């Protein structure tokens, strides 16, 4: 039976397919043991959404589990404002709107639309600097790219022989200490115990 794809897994896949394995492995541990400083701040800042204490209004859906049968994706939305039909994803600090960020909001929108909610506005909220980033709905080309990414994910074989890591991404990767694909020789300045 096909299982749902978590939007965070799709994010991992876009960053590096191998990171999915390590993300699942680390899921069993306390997040503070492996997250970097920015990620820990994000987790703390997100707590009042995760525990649904951010708002008591009936017109604001908080931390709602959503699914989309069409794409077999699943996730938890941060905030959806009924009446304004506004979907908001909160992040600790946004430096740039990556394609993955858009996929995350679009994926949530597809889930809500399947639940018969109208979604008129999509936006990110950057908590540290209090900035709002409005996101448009995907055009037909972007929708196709989104669908292709999901297909690519479904067909990807983690054990395939002909796969090349992106060493620049490895450098930023929080799983590099564990990963067999991290080439320490490429970065002589790094230490395992930095």
Residue 24 burial by CB count (10 A; 0-12/13-18/19+): exposed, middle or buried?
exposed
Report whether 63 contacts 80 (CB < 8 A).
no
Nearer to ligand SF4, 15 or 85 (CB): 15
Q: Which residues contact 86 (CB under 8 A, 6 or more apart)?
A: 79, 80, 120, 121, 122, 123
100 binds ligand SF4 (CB under 6 A): no
State which of residues 18, 90, 91, 102 lies at the interface with ligand SF4 (CB under 6 A): 18
Question: Beta partners for 76?
Answer: 65
170 binds ligand SF4 (CB under 6 A): yes
Number of residues binding to ligand SF4, judged by CB under 6 A: 13
Report whether 39 contacts 46 (CB < 8 A).
no
Q: How far is the CB of 183 from ligand SF4 (least distance, A)?
A: 9
How far apart CA 10 and CA 14 sit, in angstroms, is: 6
Q: Which of residues 175-194 bind ligand SF4 (CB under 6 A)?
A: 175-176, 179, 181-182
Nearer to ligand SF4, 114 or 177 (CB): 177
Please give the residue ranges that form the binding site for ligand SF4 (CB under 6 A).
16, 18-19, 22, 165, 169-170, 173, 175-176, 179, 181-182
């Amino acid at each position: 039976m096909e299982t749902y794809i978590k939007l965070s897994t799709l994010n991992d896949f876009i960053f590096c397919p191998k990171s999915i394995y390590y993300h699942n492995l680390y899921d069993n541990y306390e997040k503070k043991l492996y997250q970097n400083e920015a990620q820990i701040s994000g987790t703390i800042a997100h707590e009042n959404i995760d525990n649904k204490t951010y708002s008591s209004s009936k017109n604001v859906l908080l931390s709602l589990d959503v699914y989309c049968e069409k794409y077999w994706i699943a996730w938890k939305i941060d905030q959806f404002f009924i009446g304004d039909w506004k979907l908001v994803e909160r992040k600790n600090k946004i430096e740039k709107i990556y394609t993955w960020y858009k996929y995350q909001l679009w994926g949530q929108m597809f889930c809500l639309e399947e639940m018969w909610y109208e979604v008129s506005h999509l936006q990110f909220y950057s908590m540290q600097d209090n900035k709002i980033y409005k996101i448009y709905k995907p055009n037909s080309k972007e929708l196709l790219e989104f669908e292709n990414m999901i297909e690519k994910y479904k067909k990807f074989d983690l054990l395939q022989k002909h796969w090349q890591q992106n060493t620049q991404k490895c450098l930023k990767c929080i799983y590099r200490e564990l990963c067999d694909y991290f080439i320490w020789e490429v970065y002589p300045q790094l230490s395992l115990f930095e």
